[in-house]
Structure 1
């Protein structure tokens, strides 16, 4: 998760938009990682997974709204990321965190980038 998080930080600091191919590749790496490791993620990993998938979702929705050639693909990516972000949020709630704590940690992650 840490490697994916570090890559996201690089993307967020860029002044230019990455290509569809690079976006799709990063998205797929995140999804593959979650499919393989979701059950083993600790609280920090879940918070980062929630943050990463939320950022991908937001960017994919923005790109889908532009009605380009890849709009449908971006929409699908956003939908899957929404599911993963929700799953991570649910698991954090089940672990005893409150939604307020989760949102605060999300803001701390965002502020640290």
Structure 2
């Protein structure tokens, strides 16, 4: 799988994943996760407000999926998903706190996320 370099590419890809009927493989999930972690590590300090929204949306969805997969998996795969969940939780807190500094409440963040989910559904149709 080709490495995704930019935040917009990663955002578009998570929207695609969210609209798929079937679940992606561990290998694809892991590759996407690594691409996200790389972009966050390299570029998060330069994120504009809109970038923070997209990054948080990506991270929240990765975290939720990693949690779910950790409980459904066994052995070393379950441990890998658990570790992914822990790292994405830290990023989620970091990015959410940055949005709070812009003055957004938890309710506003949740409302915006609903809109972002709907945006992906519309594109898929």
TM band (smaller chain): over 0.9
RMSD: 1.1
Runs of 4+ deviating beyond 3 Å: none
Question: For this pair of structures, how many residues does the alignment match?
Answer: 113
The one of 9, 12, 15 equivalent to 1:6 is 12
Equivalents in 1 of 2:29, 2:73: separation in Å? 16
Give the TM-score of the pair, scaled to structure 2: 0.85
Gaps of 5+ in 1: none
Q: CA deviation at 1:73?
A: 0.2
Residues 18-68 of structure 1: CA deviation (Å, up to 9, x unaligned): 111100000000010000111111111111111111101111111100132
- The residue number in structure 2 matching 1:95 is 102
**Of residues 41, 46, 50 in structure 1, which corresponds to 2:47?**
41
The equivalent residue for 1:71 is 78
TM-score between the two structures when normalised by the length of structure 1:
0.94
